[in-house]
Amino acid sequence: MAETLLLGVIGGMGPLATLDLLQKILASTPAQRDQDHLPVVTWNVPQIADRQKALAGTGESPLPQLLHAVEQLNRLAVSHIVMPCNTAHHWYAPLAAASRAPILHIAQVTVEQVARLSPRPARVGLIATQGTLAAGWYQQRLAELGIDSLLPDEQEMQQWFVPGCYAVKRGELQTAGRLLQQLANALLARGAERLILACTEVPVALAAIKSPAQLLSIDPTAVLAQTCVSLWQNSGHQFADGFMQQTTL
């Protein structure tokens, strides 16, 4: 029997990355009318503490705010939750433990997509925050497929990734795209056959400059969107409308 579905999104990390996910959900949905689209509730709160600073020990933990987001989405009886922020998955375990609804893991669904590629790449470059790279979610899953991960070095992170990421947050997409394009070029030059854009700011920046690296890139935001749409299709478009009874948060 098909299950009912109402997607919850923990957003604001950053706001543009959240909008990118919602746009990609719309673009991935075969719809003839409004009612064919996936029902989504978005907790788009940009004031969630900076994840990179928290993991670097220079800022407060976002976990209390993330737990609050999970609590509010669960009160709306969402059937699934997603987070369009790779680094926030550092706190995935306590969030999943606190949630009645399953939380999809962005790295898991992305590497499952990589496993379906034909031919399968032998080496994949990762563009991600230091926190995501240190956690190893992508590297471990890729290694299980026999795929080597190529990572940016410290200079590349400081020269291209970090300023590129924060340029997106300031809305300077052309600047961000040019910086991140250089990082993509460096990884491809070292032998990466494909790239995983494992920071949700990166696809937005590369798209802004129409980067040729997009042709060799796997976009976890797009994969997450496609996964959500597949859930919607498998539900038979059955809407979990219990939240309609809610009057206040």
Residues 86 and 185 in one domain: no
The pLDDT assigned to 247 comes to 34
Please answer whether residues 234 and 164 qualify as being in contact, where contact means their C-beta atoms are separated by less than 8 angstroms: no
Residue numbers annotated as active site: 85, 199
Residue 2 within any structural domain of the chain:
no
- Shared domain for 55 and 35, answered yes or no, is yes
d(CA 238, CA 35): 11
Residues 125-169: pLDDT tens digits? 999 999 999 999 999 999 999 999 999 999 999 999 999 999 999
Do 68 and 129 fall into the same domain?
no
Number of domains in the chain: 2
| Together in a domain, 31 and 86 | yes
Q: Do both 192 and 153 map to the same domain? A: yes
Report the alpha-carbon distance of residue 11 to residue 83 in Å, rounded: 6
Q: Are residues 127 and 185 in the same domain?
A: yes
Q: Which residues of the chain have pLDDT under 70?
A: 1-2, 241-249
Bond from prior residue into 14 cis (ω within 30 degrees of 0): yes
Q: What is the CATH number of the domain that holds 83?
A: 3.40.50.1860
pLDDT for 245:
45
| Omega before residue 119 within 30° of 0, cis | yes
pLDDT score for 249:
43
Q: Look at residue 16 and tell me if it is in a domain.
A: yes
The whole-chain average pLDDT of the chain stands at 94
pLDDT of residue 239: 75
3-state secondary structure the chain: CCCCECEEEEECCCHHHHHHHHHHHHHHCCCCCHHHCCCEEEEECCCCCCHHHHHHCCCCCCHHHHHHHHHHHHHCCCCEEECCCCHHHHHHHHHHHHCCCCECCHHHHHHHHHHCCCCCCCEEEEECCHHHHHHCHHHHHHHHCCCEEECCCHHHHHHHHHHHHHHHHCCCHHHHHHHHHHHHHHHHHCCCCEEEECCCCHHHHHHHCCCHHHHHEECHHHHHHHHHHHHHHHCCCCECHHHHHCCCC
| 35 and 81 belong to one structural domain | yes
CB–CB of 164/205 below 8 Å?
yes
Name the β-bridge partners of 124: 149, 194
Q: For 70, phi and psi rounded to 5 degrees?
A: -60, -45
Q: Whole domain around residue 150: which residue ranges?
A: 107-220
Same domain, 38 and 132: no
Q: What is the pTM of this model?
A: 0.93
Do the beta carbons of residue 181 and residue 206 sit within 8 Å? yes
